[in-house]
Amino acid sequence: MPSLQDQLRGLVYSTEHGETCPDCRRPVAECECRAREEAERIAALDGIVRIRRETSGRKGKGVTTIQGVPLDSEALKMLAKTLKKRCGTGGAIKDGVIEIQGDHRDVLKRELESRGYKVKLAGG
């Protein structure tokens, strides 16, 4: 990790290219950092989609989380949209994890299995 001095000295904007990526120092249009991170995230998965119910840090409200889906970010957004519509609730995507409001583990498990994923119910 670069030192604080190196982080503060980095070029943020160039009149020639516009915004630059803070990691690779290339123009944002030419930056490949996100694509590389996305590829690394997908490569690290084991092929099993895990569905769990979480309440910690949510003031007692239950949220169903789905992680381990081997899709890129755009396809993950589309999948999350259809799953939220199937459950009739809201949700979000955070760091490659789909969050669906409420406890819908059984419905989501059936839906993902029908799409060909290997699914496990994890946690409580």
Name the pLDDT band for 19 (thresholds 50, 70, 90): confident
- Residue 50 and residue 67 in contact, taking contact as beta carbons nearer than 8 Å: yes
Task: Return mean pLDDT, the chain.
Answer: 84
Q: pTM score, two decimals?
A: 0.73
pLDDT in tens, 26-61: 887 888 888 888 888 888 888 899 999 988 777 778
Which has more pLDDT, 42 or 9? Answer: 42
Backbone angles phi, psi at 70, to 5 degrees: -80, 65
